[in-house]
Amino acid sequence: MTRKIKFLGLVEYTPTLDAMKALTEARDAETQDEIWLLEHPPVYTLGLAGKTEHLLRTDLPIPVVRTDRGGQVTYHGPGQLVVYPLVDFKRMHIGVRELVRRLEQSVIDTLAEYGIRANGDVDAPGVYVDGAKVASLGLRIKNGAVYHGLSLNVDMDLAPFGWINPCGYPNLRVTHLKDLGVDESVRQVAERLLPQLERQLTV
C-alpha cells in the first residue's frame, strides 16, 4: 500500500496534533499510511511524563503544550523540519525500539549524503553530531498505529533550547544543519530525507 505524502508548510501545533489523533482514531485495516512534513511556529511540548522542572525560566515567551507523546520537553520552531509518520505499526511486525532506530537511521543516512557523520544513542533517542543533538524523537502508539515523530534542526533560532533541558538532559548541546555547513531550506532537506524515511519504513 502506498503512503500519502503531505508537505504542510508552517502549521500550528495543537490543530496538527488534533488531526493526527483523529486520523489514528478513525483508522481501520484499509487506511492508507501518511507522512506529514512541516514546520511549527515557536512552541514547547511536554511529553506524557514531562516534568516542568526542565523548563528553566518562569517567564517563557513561548507557549508550553502538554502532549501525549513519549519523552520530556522539546522545542519546535520555524526552520526545523518536523516529520510525522502516521503508520500502521501492526503492519510493520517490529518493536518500538526498532522503529525508533529506523527513524534515527533515516536521519543518519540523510546527513551522510551531506558528508556529516552522525549517530544515535540507545540511552537517549535522537541523532547527534559530535555530541550535539540535531534531531529529536518522540512517539505515541495507539490502537496499533503510530503518531508524533521526529524533528530535525535545519536553520533555526537555537536560543529557546537554552531555556529548557532539551529532552530532559541538563546542559545538552543542540545544533542545526546550518552550523554543520548545510545551506538548504527545510523543504529541500525534507525532500532529501523522505526517500530515506520511506526505505526505513518499508518492511
Q: What are phi and psi of 7, to 5 degrees?
A: -95, 110
Binding residues for substrate: 69-76, 136-138, 149-151
Q: Which three cell numbers stand for residue 157?
A: 533560532
Q: How far apart are the first and last CA of the chain?
A: 12
The answer for 58, left when phi > 0, alpha when psi is -120 to 50, beta otherwise, is alpha
Instruction: List the Cα angle 127/194/188 in 5-degree steps.
Output: 90
167 has catalytic annotation:
yes
Dihedral, 85, 90, 93, 96 alpha carbons, nearest 10: 60
Distance CA 26, CA 131 (A): 40
Indicate which residue of 37, 81, 127, 167 is catalytic: 167
Binding residues: 69-76, 136-138, 149-151
Residues with catalytic roles: 167
